[in-house]
């Protein structure tokens, strides 16, 4: 067996050569970035979360590296839906990776229009509906409004024949896990991605007595190692609440051990964001090799041998 075969998995029935993929928002905005992803050893790629039309995004600076992660308030900069549909169509025949289109309308009506148009594109395999973008001033996260999420998903599945997945914000209260799960159970979701960044964080540069990003008075989404415990908890909770639904883990993935722990909690695939931003595409090879080494040490030949097998501490 090739060592690389250890990373094989599947997502909504699609076989993947690797359990690693990019997170929407990182290295996936332009055709150049997406083409580079196509040439890497990831199993799937997801586009930048898009709106109907081009968006410039929030004013600069809107991203900053911080000691154990990142903070950003990007404001959904993207090239518009048609740009990403064209890219997927042009690469359909020579693309051996699962292509996921991420959409993030600024309101329900825009999301419905995005879904209608994406539904007509043969090259779109899965639509990732982003319910969790926290960086639009005056726009609440749909994922924290359970009634609104239910209405949107009902309309989405009524009109769209493409597989639909959702990307969720992080949840912190037991009742919120249960409430969102009760909504998601109604629909045949392709997967559930946990989690987007933790919104409304603030980082200060004490040398200048100032914030490090400009939008929203310096408030932004927190990513990287800071959010790993929250991400793992969300992966685990939705894995147990949504039996049979693939979970995609996202948050705090810097090393192979972080991937291992996400899979142990129930993730079938992981998305990498902050580390991809900071290190570039070389992170996929490094992290994949680190995960292979862990699997070899533990005697695993398939990630399904430990997926979801987290144990409770025995005292």
Cα–Cα separations (whole angstroms), residue 25 to 44, 74, 94, 180, 271: 14, 9, 23, 24, 11
> pLDDT digit string (tens) for 74-96?
999 999 999 999 999 999 866 78
Would you kindly state where each structural domain of the chain is located, as residue ranges? 3-57+76-200+226-305
pLDDT confidence tier of residue 140, bands split at 50, 70 and 90:
confident
The per-residue pLDDT of the chain, averaged, comes to 95
Given the structure tokens 């580390």, which residue do they identify?
275
Checking if the pLDDT of 134 tops 60, the result is: no
> pLDDT digit string (tens) for 144-174?
999 999 999 999 999 999 999 999 999 999 9
The DSSP H or E segment spanning 111 is: helix 108-118
* 212/190 Cα distance (integer angstroms): 37
Q: Which of 24, 49, 132, 268 is catalytic?
A: 132
For 3-57+76-200+226-305, CATH gives 3.20.20.70
pLDDT confidence tier of residue 133, bands split at 50, 70 and 90:
confident
pLDDT of residue 246: 98
- Per the CB < 8 A criterion, the answer to whether 202 and 66 are in contact is no
Lowest mean pLDDT among 137-141, 150-154, 187-191, 282-286: 137-141
Whether 133 is catalytic is: yes
Whether 50 is catalytic is: no
Token representation of residue 222: 């927190």
- Helix, strand or coil for residue 10? strand
> pLDDT digit string (tens) for 173-205?
999 999 999 999 999 999 999 999 999 999 999
pLDDT of residue 49: 97
pTM to 2 decimal places: 0.96
pLDDT of residue 315: 84
> pLDDT digit string (tens) for 17-74?
999 999 999 999 999 999 999 999 999 999 999 999 999 999 999 999 999 999 999 9
pLDDT confidence tier of residue 4, bands split at 50, 70 and 90:
confident
What is the separation, in whole angstroms, between the first and last Cα of the chain?
38
Q: What share of the chain has pLDDT > 70, as a percent? A: 97
Q: Which of 19, 28, 133, 265 is catalytic?
A: 133
> pLDDT digit string (tens) for 199-249?
999 999 999 999 999 998 999 999 999 999 999 999 999 999 999 999 999
pLDDT of residue 1: 45
pLDDT confidence tier of residue 6, bands split at 50, 70 and 90:
very high
- The b-or-e profile of 83-95 (16+ CB within 10 A means b, else e) is bbbebbeebeeeb
Token representation of residue 305: 């041998």
Q: What are phi and psi of 114, to 5 degrees?
A: -60, -45
């Amino acid at each position: 067996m090739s060592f690389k075969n250890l990373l094989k998995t599947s997502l909504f029935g699609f076989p993947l050569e690797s359990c690693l993929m990019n997170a929407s928002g990182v290295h996936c905005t332009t055709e150049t970035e997406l083409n580079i992803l196509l040439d890497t050893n990831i199993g799937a790629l997801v586009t930048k979360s898009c709106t109907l039309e081009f968006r410039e995004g929030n004013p600069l600076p809107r991203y900053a590296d911080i000691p154990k992660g990142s903070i950003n308030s990007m404001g959904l900069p993207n090239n518009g839906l048609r740009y990403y549909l064209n890219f997927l169509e042009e690469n359909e025949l020579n693309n051996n990776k699962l292509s996921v289109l991420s959409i993030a309308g600024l309101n329900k009506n825009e999301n419905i229009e995005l879904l209608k148009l994406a539904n007509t594109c043969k090259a779109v395999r899965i639509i990732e509906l982003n319910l969790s973008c926290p960086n639009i001033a005056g726009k609440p996260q749909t994922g924290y409004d359970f009634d609104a999420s239910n209405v949107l998903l009902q309309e989405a599945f009524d009109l769209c024949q493409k597989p639909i997945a959702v990307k969720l914000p992080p949840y912190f209260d037991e009742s919120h896990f249960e409430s969102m799960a009760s909504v998601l159970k109604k629909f045949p979701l392709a997967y559930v991605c946990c989690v987007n960044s933790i919104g409304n964080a603030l980082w200060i540069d004490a040398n200048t007595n100032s914030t490090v990003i400009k939008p929203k008075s310096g408030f932004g989404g927190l990513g990287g190692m800071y959010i790993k415990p929250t991400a793992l908890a969300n992966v685990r909770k939705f894995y147990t609440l949504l039996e049979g639904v693939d979970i995609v883990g996202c948050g705090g993935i810097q090393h192979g051990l972080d991937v291992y722990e996400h899979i142990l909690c129930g993730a079938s695939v992981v998305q990498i964001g902050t580390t991809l931003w900071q290190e570039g595409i070389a992170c996929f090879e490094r992290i994949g090799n680190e995960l292979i080494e862990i699997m070899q040490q533990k005697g695993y030949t398939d990630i399904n041998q430990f997926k979801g097998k987290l144990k409770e501490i025995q005292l």
